[in-house]
Amino acid sequence: MFEKPSLPSRVLRAASAAAFGAVLTVLGGIALAAQAPSGLAFSEFRGYEDWRVVAVSQTEEEIKVIVANPAMIEAYRAGVPGNGKKFPDGSKVAKIRWKPQKNAESPFPVNVPSSLVAVDFIERDSKRFADSGGWGYAPFNYNATSDTFAPNGSGTKCGVACHTAVASKDYIFTAYPKR
């Protein structure tokens, strides 16, 4: 049986959660003014921290969580892009990237996020980004020393070069797996 946590531990956990939320709010506020060469601004993705998870991926260098706004999640659930349709304008996705580290407390080998590396954004706007498959791309590198995000890349085309490989999937690599 699990024991109900004592009041002090519950208060401590609640305070820790509140502090984490405050850190995310400060981080988001710092980055809101940043704008990528594509014209996409960090502020266009306000609230991405609360979007639904599409999937998780990991390379040797990074752990990535891909989240999407409600419009994109609804399209995924309707079968896009597997049904041959495109994601609707207003669909947005964020890829949050961390360096991995071994979880020292786990009884089995598992990697968990360590330091934040970057947050990459993609937005569907078929008119604004007509020359790049209808998608705009905006990667933002995180600088832990200054606690800020700065745009990385050379405009909306910095993402389309890689995403052309999945043009038949409406330029989106990450599928929405069964839950």
Q: What is the pLDDT of residue 37?
A: 79
Whether the bond into 109 is cis, omega within 30 of 0: no
pLDDT along the chain (179 residues), means of 10: 44 42 46 75 95 96 98 98 96 98 95 96 96 93 95 70 90 94
What single DSSP character describes residue 118? E
83 alpha-carbon distance from chain centroid: 24
Q: What is the pLDDT of residue 159?
A: 79
> How far is it, in rounded angstroms, from Cα 149 to Cα 121?
12
Q: What is the pLDDT of residue 53?
A: 98
Q: What is the pLDDT of residue 79?
A: 97
Q: What is the pLDDT of residue 15?
A: 41
Q: What is the pLDDT of residue 154?
A: 60
Q: What is the pLDDT of residue 162?
A: 87
Q: What is the pLDDT of residue 12?
A: 41
Per-residue HEC secondary structure of 76-103 comes to: HHCCCCCCCCCCCCCCEEEEEEEEEEEC
